[in-house]
Structure 1
Amino acid sequence: MGRLDKRFVALLGLAALPPAIEGVIFDALDFRAAWGLAPQVTAVWPYDTYHDLRWLFVYHNSWPTFAVGLVGLILFRALLTTGLVALAWPRQVPWPGLRWLIRRNLVLTVVITLVVSPWAALSIAASVVALSWLLLASLLPMFLLAPFLQRAAVVGAWWRGLPSIELVGWSLLNFVVLTVGGAVVWAVPIGWTGPTAAVAGVINGLLWQRTVSAALLPRRPVKWARVPVAPLAVLLAFVVPLAVQPLLLLLPATSSRSRIQLLNRPLPADVRHAVIFIDGHGSTYGGEPAADPNVQQFSYRGLAPDGRPLPYSARDTHRSIGSSTALLETQVDALHRRTGRPVALIGLSEGALVARTYLAVRPHPEVDTLAMFSPLINAGRSYYPPPGASSGWGLAAGWELRAVFGLADVFGGGVGPDEPFVRSLMDNAPFYRNDLMCPVPGVRILAFLPTTTATEAPPGEYSAIPVFQMPGVHGGLLPRPLIQARLVNFLAGEPVSHPERGYALLQEVAAAWQAPPLPLSVNPVWQGSRVPDAAFTGRICQPR
């Protein structure tokens, strides 16, 4: 019993030490945005490998550094897992020997790295565009694969048969522990990150013990014992996230007119502005005029010779933000000259970024009002160079994303990681990470935020402008009658604000699953801006 107690204490100590070290390093660097990742260092598979690959995909700047980092992480993970499994091995089961465990975990680490890497790369894409559905798509395979991969380190024919209900339960608890642990680690004061991460690591050790026991000592016979279920689960893990976006495209289309009532009816008498509505990525416009001549829809193709906005297709929205702001400048000027009114902008998703960028780089003196719906908060936290580059931060991640989205095109995805809009977010990341949600002198700004945006960026300060928050998904608030009424109130000059108390808590809950941000100071593409980095300061809207 004494020997067992020593092994148990050693298991908890080994599980606690790496998270504690990572937490102490984060505190020393004041790397606030990464605090929630520390508990995952000793998580049960596949979350430990998911942790490793997200760091590697962000923090390499050439093929040799990626190769060296990958080999180093595989060796580290194989040895650490060997130690955790050896210390968690139940006494009732014959000991297979240290060589068998090392060899087993080394091969298995390579296999799991290959399986998990597309989803780790997808988390990089999520941090570039700040979209919650991409983050969800990167996590769904972890849910599916976890019960299968947790058997792999200790069971010979782990790929055959269904995992037991105990393994499914432990894998779900594993996710909950990492989520709560990441939130708690982020919430504690500086100086407590290491100790708190160590406590989370101790819980990881307990989960290793229970998972290894559940895999080696199942209470019931394995179901479908001769069926290669694990490879089928891996295949399903690849197919489901790739099909998410195409399935969304099969849903009944929602036109701009059904989403914003201002296009369908005259402006209320107390609204003295002319209004331009800038729709989001993938939207279409058939050229229909608005009911009120003082309202028009922004066209991603520009204006006809007679001044009418040209019809556009979804493909026309796949342009750089800079080119869209140039089009907006022309359309604002034309609308103001035609109506003689000050101009208010209403932007949705990509349209919100176009409008806010316009106010930063080429504002018209008569544009004094902006309403942003579902802006991409804290976008551009990761980077990968263009396809022709031979070096640059995130080089391998970029090529893996091209492969993943190329495969998605087979399912009808149609959007790639190098389209001009996405590259605009990365190339101008200092602005979108620091200035997007900041005031503009002389302009009233309001952001309508669905609660899912809380999962799209690391915890901390995210807005210095008034916000109206409600439960909802990206782009889902605009059609609601309450939101339409508040929008009209805002355009009429009334103060509008409705922050949700649980928004910051949701940010902390999602902290464990964000990819670590690339510091603004290390990327040559960004260094010229010299913008303070919210990943370290925890604050936005800081002067240059």
Structure 2
Amino acid sequence: MGRLDTRFVALLVLAALPPAVEGAILAGLGFRAAEGLAPQVSAVWPYDTYHDLRWLLVYHDSWLAFGVGLVVVVVFRALFTTGLVALAWPRHVPRPSVRWLARRNLVLTAVLSVVISPWAALSMAASVVALSWLLFASLLPMFLLAPFLQRAAVLGDWWRGLPSIELVGWSLLNFVVLTIGGALVWTVSVWWTAPVAALAGLVNGLLWQRTVAAALLPRRPVRWARVPVAPLAVLLAFAVPLLVQPLLDLLPGTSPRGRTLVLERPLPAEVRHSVIYLDGHGSAYGGEPTADPNVQQFSYRGLAPDGRPLPYSARDTYRSIGSSVSLLETQVDAVHRRTGRPVALIGQSEGAMVARTYLAVRPHPSVDTLAMFSPLINAGRSYYPPPGASSGWGVAAGWELRVLFGLVDVFAGSGSGPDEPFIRSLMDNSPFYRNDLMCPVPGVRIVAFMPTTTATEAPPGEYSGIPVFQMPAVHGGLLTEPLVQARLVNFLAGEPVSRPLRGYALLQETAAAWQAPPLPLSVNPAWRGDGLPDPAFTARVCQPR
């Protein structure tokens, strides 16, 4: 019993130490946005490798650095997993030699790094565009693969047969522990970061013990014992990016028609503004007239000679934010000259980013009102250089995303990809979108209507210096809600609108463990961000430059 207790204690210490070290380093650097990742250092597969690859994909600045980093990550993870498995192995079950376990884990870590890498890259893409569905698409394969991969470290034929219900349960508990641990690590004061991360590591040690036992000693015969279920699960995981967005589109409140309701109703008499509505990424406009002559659709193609917005297709929305701002400047001037009224802007998703950028760089004195729907909060947290660059932060990740989205586009046919001008605009102007997007503009009334899924799109902390109206919904789904439509009219009529939800901050904290670590503004020469305020460290926005 004494020997068993000693090995168990060693397992707990080995599982607790690395999270504590990472937590201490992050706390010492003041790197608040990344603290939620610390408990995952000793997590059970695949979350440990998912942790490693997200750091590597964000933090390499050349192909050589990526290659060396990948070798270091694979070797470290293989040796660390070997130690955890050896200490977690049930004493009454014959255990292979440590050398055998090390060889096996080295090969498996290399293979699984290839399998998991696309989802880590998707997590990085989610931090570029701040879209919750991309984060979900990066995380759902982990749910799917976890029960299969947790057998890989101990079983020779782990790839055959369904995992036991015990393994499924332990893998779900593993996710819950890492989620809660990430939230707690972020929530506590800086002095408690390392101890709380160590506590999460202790729980990881217990999960390693239970998971290894469940894999070696299933209580029931393995079902489909001859079927290569794990490879089939991997193939199914690669279909997730194709399925997430179409499934979200089926949810109530995401109909494209809902986004155009502002164009199909006359303005109430109490609204004294002309209104320009800027739709989101992938939207289309057929040139239909609006119900009110004082309301106009923004066109991503510009205006006809007679001042009418030109019809546009989804691909026209792929343009850079700067070019859209130029079009908006022309349209605002034309609308104001035609109506003589002050102008209010209503922007959704990409449209919100265009409208807010316009107010920062080319504001017209007639524009005194902005309502943003589903703005991309804290976008541009990661970076990868353009295709022609041979080096730069995230260079390998950029090419992995190009391959991944290229394969997806074979089926989707959208023509969208990681290098489209709109996405590059978010990365190239990261300092503004991370610190200033949700900040007041002198002389302009601003409100942000935010679905609760937005809480999963950015690290915890302060995210807004303007009034917010929050409501349960998915990205782009708020304008279908009667309550939101009524509050929008109230806002356009001059009334203050604000409705922060109490649980919003809690959702931010629970998502902290699953986002890619942000790249500091001061690190990337492309951002010229040395000395600029960085929410990744301050956990605050709207800080003076």
TM-score, shorter chain, exceeding 0.5: yes
Change (3 A) 1:81 1:101: same
What is the aligned partner in structure 1 of residue 455 from structure 2? Answer: 454
- 1:417 partnered with 2:418: yes
Change (3 A) 1:39 1:257: closer
Contiguous gaps of at least 5 residues in structure 1 = none
Q: Determine if contact 2:249/2:255 at 8 Å carries over to the other structure.
A: no
Please give the per-residue CA displacement for 1:242-280, whole angstroms capped at 9, x wherever unaligned. 333356679999776643433122211111110000000
Q: Determine if contact 1:256/1:279 at 8 Å carries over to the other structure.
A: no
What is the aligned partner in structure 1 of residue 429 from structure 2? Answer: 428
Change (3 A) 1:61 1:492: same
Q: Determine if contact 1:246/1:412 at 8 Å carries over to the other structure.
A: no
What is the aligned partner in structure 2 of residue 515 from structure 1? Answer: 516
User: Mapping of 1:37-436 within 5 angstroms?
Assistant: 37-245=37-245, 258-414=258-414, 415-436=416-437
> Secondary structure of the residue that 2:458 maps to in structure 1?
coil
What is the aligned partner in structure 1 of residue 504 from structure 2? Answer: 503
**C-alpha displacement of 1:437:** 0.2
Partners in 1 of 2:249 and 2:533 — Cα distance?
39
Partners in 1 of 2:39 and 2:347 — Cα distance?
38
- Comparing 284-293 with 491-500, greater Cα deviation is found at 284-293
- Scaled by the length of structure 1, the TM-score of the pair is 0.98
Q: Give the AA of the match of 2:527.
A: W
Q: Determine if contact 2:60/2:393 at 8 Å carries over to the other structure.
A: yes
Partners in 2 of 1:28 and 1:529 — Cα distance?
19
Please give the per-residue CA displacement for 1:269-328, whole angstroms capped at 9, x wherever unaligned. 111110000000000111111111111000000000000000000010010000000000
- 1:14 partnered with 2:21: no
- Scaled by the length of structure 2, the TM-score of the pair is 0.98
**C-alpha displacement of 1:531:** 2.2
Change (3 A) 1:88 1:76: same
Partners in 2 of 1:529 and 1:197 — Cα distance?
30
Q: Determine if contact 1:121/1:400 at 8 Å carries over to the other structure.
A: yes
Please give the per-residue CA displacement for 1:455-502, whole angstroms capped at 9, x wherever unaligned. 000000000000000000001111111111000000000011000000
Please give the per-residue CA displacement for 1:424-443, whole angstroms capped at 9, x wherever unaligned. 00000000000000000000
Contiguous gaps of at least 5 residues in structure 2 = none
- Comparing 526-535 with 333-342, greater Cα deviation is found at 526-535
Partners in 1 of 2:441 and 2:454 — Cα distance?
22
Partners in 2 of 1:55 and 1:19 — Cα distance?
14
Q: Determine if contact 1:344/1:369 at 8 Å carries over to the other structure.
A: yes
**C-alpha displacement of 1:191:** 1.1
Say what the alpha-carbon RMSD is for the aligned residues.
1.4
Partners in 1 of 2:471 and 2:254 — Cα distance?
20
> Secondary structure of the residue that 2:447 maps to in structure 1?
strand
> Secondary structure of the residue that 1:193 maps to in structure 2?
helix
What is the aligned partner in structure 1 of residue 543 from structure 2? Answer: 542
Partners in 1 of 2:247 and 2:257 — Cα distance?
23
**C-alpha displacement of 1:395:** 0.5
